[in-house]
Amino acid sequence: MTSRERPVLLYDGDCGFCTASVRFIERRIPTSAELVPYQAADLAALGTTPERAAREVVWVGRGRRALGGAQAAAALLIDAGGVWRPLGLVLRVPPFRWIAHGVYRLVANNRGRLPGATPACALPADRRPGAR
């Protein structure tokens, strides 16, 4: 489903909050990445697992190195360039990296309570639709 020439951002397509976030990215952030629900991707070919993709967004770069969570978001911002690039670069440097990780985990662990969430968001990762 995905092209090998472009980076890929995997997200939980069963989560309304995640899907709304991806729609925001599509409208506002000019990334070259393919935005793909992990449920529709060949995860093994992308070098990740269903467990990881259910737990966090995963960025698979052109070199096929997978980054997760806040670092996946940083990679997406760097890829977008323009005003987004400096923000992505800052998110890679301690202490901002640590803060970004903490904020990402807080949001990811509570996405079932956020606007746009669906009942699937509140389930443990291994019990969500599409989990293997």
Mean pLDDT along residues 1-11: 78
Q: Would residue 3 count as lying in a domain?
A: no
Tens of pLDDT, residues 30-78: 999 999 999 999 999 999 999 999 999 999 998 888 999 999 999 999 9
Mean pLDDT along residues 1-19: 83
Q: Would residue 95 count as lying in a domain?
A: yes
Note the Cα 42 to chain centre separation in Å.
Answer: 16
Taking 50 as the threshold, does the pLDDT of residue 104 lie above it? yes
Q: Would residue 132 count as lying in a domain?
A: no
Residues 6+ apart with CB under 8 A from 20: 115, 116
Q: Would residue 131 count as lying in a domain?
A: no
HSE on the CB side for 27, CA within 13 Å? 6
Q: Would residue 128 count as lying in a domain?
A: no
Instruction: Give the confidence band of 1 by pLDDT, cuts at 50, 70, 90.
Output: very low
pTM for this model (two decimals): 0.84
Domain span at 13: 8-122
Q: For residue 87, what are the CA distances in angstroms to 90, 103, 104?
A: 5, 15, 15
Tokens representing 107 are 């949001």
* Number of domains the chain contains: 1
Q: Would residue 68 count as lying in a domain?
A: yes
Q: Between 112 and 3, where is the model more confident?
A: 112
HSE on the CB side for 3, CA within 13 Å? 7
Q: Between 2 and 47, where is the model more confident?
A: 47
